């Protein structure tokens, strides 16, 4: 059965232990970072930071401010757009849930970056031979029966790893048992056809969304992989059309040159 992670934001304390665990397991280099306007650090996800905790301040009617902490990483969609648009199969959806990347197949087209509705894949802009980098759901750990490094590090059990079906049941159980504590929807259950990252929040997703960093609420429930495959199916015909146009233009130019040569020869004979 496909694996998933339940992220209960009501339990997250913003310690960023998951960020450290992720960098440690993937041997990602340390770097100088800066705070965002809401005290998130690093400011953005990039090729050296696959996981990031977003800090949100939400004003309450009585004038108080509440902090909300949201773990951001690859969503590992059930039908991933990135996989559907990759022309060389460098991105692969594994049966256990992770969407993984093959360095040796990648041609650097960056279609996956454009296709991802969550803006997750990042390019190694600073390298001479750049590659795509993103969270791989610790696929190597899952393969040998271990949980992802981030979930094993979480001190408040905000991250729970397991079978997707069982985690969805647990999420709805928590919502039913504490209706005043949770917003009555599970983010990731249906959006873009479903994802392996499932979120419980105390307030609506719209409140926690900011500049499409956090919870996007404009994506719908149709799998984005469908759109990617539909678009990629047209590529051979577009390539054929462009090739045909190029051949036609070449013929026209050649014919034009021949006509000009004939006129030149006729002028010399006269």
Per-residue model confidence as pLDDT tens digits over 2-14: 999 999 999 999 9
pLDDT band at residue 32, thresholds of 50, 70 and 90? Answer: confident
pLDDT of residue 212: 53
Q: What are phi and psi of 21, to 5 degrees?
A: -60, -40
Cβ-based neighbour number of residue 6 at 10 Å: 24
Indicate if the pLDDT at residue 75 is higher than 80. Answer: yes
| Cβ count near 202 (within 10 Å) | 17
Q: What tokens were used for 47?
A: 């090729």
> pLDDT grade, residue 80 (50/70/90)?
very high
pLDDT attached to residue 60: 78
Using one digit for the tens of pLDDT, what is the confidence trace for 219-259?
A: 999 987 776 665 555 455 454 555 556 666 666 777 676 66
* pLDDT > 80? residue 122: yes
Closest CA to 133 of 18, 16, 26, 3: 26
3-224 maps to CATH 3.30.70.20 = yes
Look at residue 213 in the predicted model and tell me its pLDDT: 60
**pTM exceeding 0.75:** yes
The closest alpha carbon to 148, from 163, 137, 133, belongs to: 137
Domain limits, the chain: 3-224, 234-269
């Amino acid at each position: 059965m496909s694996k998933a992670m339940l992220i209960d934001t009501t339990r997250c304390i913003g310690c960023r232990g998951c960020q450290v665990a992720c960098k440690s397991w993937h041997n990602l280099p340390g770097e100088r970072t800066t705070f965002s306007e809401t005290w998130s650090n690093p400011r953005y996800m990039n090729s050296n930071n696959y996981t990031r905790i977003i800090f949100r301040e939400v004003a309450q009617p009585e004038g108080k401010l509440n902090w909300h902490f949201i773990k951001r990483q690859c969503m590992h969609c059930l039908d991933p757009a990135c996989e559907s648009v990759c022309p060389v199969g460098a991105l692969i959806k594994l049966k256990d849930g992770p969407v993984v990347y093959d360095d040796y197949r990648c041609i650097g087209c960056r279609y996956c970056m454009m296709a991802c509705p969550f803006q997750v894949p990042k390019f190694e802009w600073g390298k001479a031979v750049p590659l795509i980098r993103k969270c791989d759901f610790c696929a190597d750990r899952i393969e040998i029966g271990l949980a992802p490094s981030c979930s094993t590090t979480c001190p408040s059990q905000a991250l729970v790893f397991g079978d997707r079906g069982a985690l969805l049941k647990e999420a709805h159980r928590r919502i039913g048992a504490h209706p005043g504590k949770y917003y009555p929807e599970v983010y990731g259950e249906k959006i873009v056809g479903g994802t392996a990252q499932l979120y419980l929040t105390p307030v609506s997703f719209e409140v926690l969304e900011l500049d499409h960093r956090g919870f996007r609420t404009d994506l719908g429930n149709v799998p984005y992989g469908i759109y990617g495959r539909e678009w990629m199916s047209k590529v051979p015909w577009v390539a054929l059309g462009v090739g045909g146009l190029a051949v036609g233009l070449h013929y026209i130019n050649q014919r034009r040159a021949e006509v000009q040569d004939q006129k030149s020869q006729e002028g010399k004979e006269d």
